[in-house]
């Protein structure tokens, strides 16, 4: 590599609210010549980038007709930009290493001799439930946390997830968080029930956590599919299964008793009861 080659930073954008960026992530965005961003990065965050920064959307769109840049194409574009002497940010929703293909990209970049760093981000697996009033762990409710992807690589012959083990974890009081699982919600719920998870186990779905149109649906394992359907829950959404979901009721009661603060931020707006889309 020449001494004037650029660098690539794999940056976690967090769940969406620009205020939840890390200080280092903010600095890398301000310094970048070009930002290759995912579809789940909010427009509000992209608008905070300097006007001189080139913004390139390489996000994968859902559905058979959506634009889907291959991972190989993305990898090669990152290398070309760095070799052209540009400082590059690869901006990913949440954390680059939590189902964000950051591991694949950092391997490719390292093999190509590109200087690369990882800037961790706040994963929606924790932030999504948190802003909805749900702690993923709690001394009185859950001492373990398991995070899984809601949809796996369709080329796999069989699931890499041990749903029987996941069901045992939930039944024993652990918290299960499913990312990117809206489309497979009925199948995932059915599988948990088949493996013995009680139908009255609390479940929450948090759509677009920390975005302006954030929305939360609460139910039980036996009702969450119909409730999510009735509410029109769409990706991106985080699903939380476990007794910690019951904590939200007490958080809401406290928020209501305190009254609505003037100028409340996104996190405060999340702490309201279900009752139709805002």
User: Residues 1-19: pLDDT tens digits?
Assistant: 445 789 999 999 999 999 9
Catalytic residue among 17, 95, 180, 205: 180
Mean pLDDT for the stretch of residues 244-262: 71
Residue 214 forms part of a structural domain: yes
User: Residues 58-114: pLDDT tens digits?
Assistant: 987 655 555 678 999 999 999 999 999 999 999 999 999 999 899 999 999 999 999
- Provide the total of helices (H) and of strands (E) in the chain, helices listed first: 10, 10
The 34-37 sheet, strands edge to edge: 54-57, 34-37, 88-92, 7-12, 115-119
Residue 16 forms part of a structural domain: yes
Residue 249: partners with Cβ closer than 8 Å, 6 or more residues away: none
Residue 276 forms part of a structural domain: no
Catalytic residue among 57, 60, 243, 274: 60
Would you state the pLDDT for residue 36?
Answer: 98
User: Residues 128-147: pLDDT tens digits?
Assistant: 999 999 999 998 888 899 99
Which of 4-8, 115-119, 190-194 is the least confident region?
Answer: 4-8
* Boundary residue ending a domain (122, 157, 188): 122
Instruction: Domain of residue 70: give its range.
Output: 7-122
Residue 167 forms part of a structural domain: yes
Claim: this prediction has a pTM higher than 0.75: yes
Run of H or E including 217? strand 215-220
Question: Own/partner pairs for 251-255, CB < 8 Å, 24+ apart?
Answer: 251/133, 252/133, 255/133
**What CATH number is given to the structural domain containing 259?**
3.30.950.10
Residue 38 is among the residues annotated as catalytic for this protein:
yes
Mean pLDDT for the stretch of residues 260-266: 40
Residue 205 is among the residues annotated as catalytic for this protein:
no
* Boundary residue ending a domain (105, 122, 139): 122
Residue 92 is among the residues annotated as catalytic for this protein:
no
* Boundary residue ending a domain (98, 122, 146): 122
Residue 274 forms part of a structural domain: no
Would you state the pLDDT for residue 187?
Answer: 92
Q: Which of 145, 103, 102 is nearest to 243 (CA)?
A: 145
Would you state the pLDDT for residue 257?
Answer: 60
Assign 156 a pLDDT band (cuts: 50, 70, 90): low
């Amino acid at each position: 590599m020449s001494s004037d080659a650029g660098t690539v930073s794999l940056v976690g954008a967090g769940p969406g609210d620009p205020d939840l960026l890390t200080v280092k992530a903010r600095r890398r965005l301000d310094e970048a010549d070009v930002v290759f961003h995912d579809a789940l990065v909010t427009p509000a965050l992209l608008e905070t980038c300097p006007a001189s920064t080139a913004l390139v959307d390489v996000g994968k769109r859902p559905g058979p007709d959506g634009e889907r840049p291959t991972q190989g194409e993305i990898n090669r574009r990152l290398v070309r930009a760095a070799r052209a002497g540009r400082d590059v940010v690869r901006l990913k929703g949440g954390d680059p290493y939590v189902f964000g293909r950051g591991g694949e990209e950092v391997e490719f970049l390292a093999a190509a001799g590109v200087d690369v760093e990882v800037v961790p981000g706040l994963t929606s697996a924790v932030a999504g439930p948190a802003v909805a009033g749900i702690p993923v762990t709690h001394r009185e409710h859950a001492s373990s946390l398991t995070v899984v992807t809601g949809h796996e690589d369709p080329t796999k012959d069989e699931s890499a997830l041990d749903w029987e083990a996941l069901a045992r974890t939930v039944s024993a009081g652990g918290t299960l968080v499913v990312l990117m699982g809206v489309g497979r919600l009925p199948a995932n719920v059915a599988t948990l029930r088949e493996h013995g998870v009680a139908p009255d186990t609390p479940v929450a779905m948090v759509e677009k956590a920390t975005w302006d149109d954030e929305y939360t649906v609460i139910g039980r394992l036996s009702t969450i599919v119909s409730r999510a359907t009735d509410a029109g829950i769409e990706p991106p959404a985080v699903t939380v299964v476990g007794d910690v979901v019951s904590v939200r009721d007490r958080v809401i009661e406290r928020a209501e008793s305190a009254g609505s603060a003037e100028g409340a931020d996104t996190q405060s707006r999340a702490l309201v009861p279900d009752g139709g889309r805002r």
